[in-house]
Amino acid sequence: MDQRDFGLSETQRDFRAMARDFTEREVVPHARDWDRAEAVDPAIPGRLGELGFLGLTLPEEYGGTPADMLSYTVVTEELGRGDSSVRGIVSVSLGLVAKTIAAHGTEEQQRQWLPRLAGGESLGCFGLTEPGTGSDAGSLRTRARRDGGDWILDGAKTFITNGTVADVALTFARTSEDGITAFLVPTEAPGFTATGIHGKLGLRGQATAELAYDGVRVPDSARLGGVGKGLGIALGALSRGRISVAAGSVGLAQGALDAAVRYATEREQFGRPVASFQLVQELLAESEVDIRAARLLTYQVARMADAGATPRQYATEASVAKYHASETAVKVSNNCLQTFGGYGFIDEYPAGKYLRDARVLTLYEGTSQVQKLIIGRALTGIDAMT
């Protein structure tokens, strides 16, 4: 048995095999071209929906795929191994948006959005980050004001994954000086615009956007959760989301290591394979150890969720996993490029893309520094973020 499958149930191994097959056939052969074009094939979300990957863990009555958190984790790991831009579609539309609707939405909201999101007919984006507020999400400036039975939203968001392709934007807006509220904003609403962000270092195939809300009117039925409860909803979603980012980081690191091992065993210098040199083996061995540790940390928090822990209860473990796995992805992809030497510096080979895609993993859904502060707060009881 592959050591990656040790401790997994038959169902979880089946999900991994399905995701691995899809990744090898429909993602890996195209990842370089999508990176160059700065766009993933628009048919991919539909394929993810057909396979049930966009409905993992969602209620079956709304089109969801029966699965536990660990199954979702191994799927996002495999997608991350193939292309982080594809993994991000699932992590955001399912992990941050659909799961949040399932957790906090009314029956009407769940009926309206979950079947479409689970089937890949629609995608969601998570409108939290703003031009002036990243890590300090509680200081966001987008505002929503009451107007009869409606709300009117004004403001801007940035670095929003799926922003130009989403049909619904889970948007967080200030409704009072000390209160933030969540809204499900249809992207076809008048006054809503999404502008693509191009020229990114990595995740080039991913649709990343700036969102503008210019007097966007939504009914009160679009409000997700209670008035003033939005920040708690956002933080809970991020705790769940960090599991998939950690899993995607593990997958990316595994892909980089696999590529480095193949290259090192095939490439010859001084009349023998590069892999026969001790310092090259050191790079590969260190990478393997770091990946195994990151995978175990990620699976541990997924199992906590499956055992009934709430996002608040596993928040620290999610930060531990996200921190270690994302830093591992950067380290391993850098080792991969070093193993490739000069060939790693051109995009004919995958090493450079792995490193470019890995770099953002330490930034979004909480920087490595924020993760350290969350872990430190859990250890000491002292909040160093304020």
- CA within 13 Å, CB half, 359: 11
What would the pLDDT profile of 1-34 be if each residue is shown by its tens digit? 677 777 999 999 999 999 999 999 999 999 999 9
Question: Is residue 63's pLDDT more than 90?
Answer: yes
Tens-place pLDDT, residues 293-337: 999 999 999 999 999 999 999 999 999 999 999 999 999 999 999
Average pLDDT of every residue of the chain: 97
State yes or no: is 266 an active-site residue: no
Question: Tell me, what's the pLDDT at 1?
Answer: 61
Pairwise CA distance, residues 120 & 51, whole Å: 10
- pLDDT level of residue 177 (50, 70, 90 thresholds): confident
Q: What is the pTM of this model?
A: 0.96
List phi, psi (to 5°) of 160.
-95, 110
Alpha carbon 294 to chain centroid distance?
A: 16
pLDDT in tens, 255-302: 999 999 999 999 999 999 999 999 999 999 999 999 999 999 999 999
* Interval 105-122 mean pLDDT: 98
pLDDT recorded at residue 178: 84
pLDDT average, residue stretch 188-192? 98
Which of 38, 210, 317, 365 does the annotation list as catalytic? Answer: 365
Q: Which residues are CB-neighbours of 229 under 8 A, at least 6 positions away?
A: 181, 182
* Whether 357 contacts 252, CB under 8 Å: yes
Give the closest residue to 253 by CA, choosing from 324, 320, 162: 324
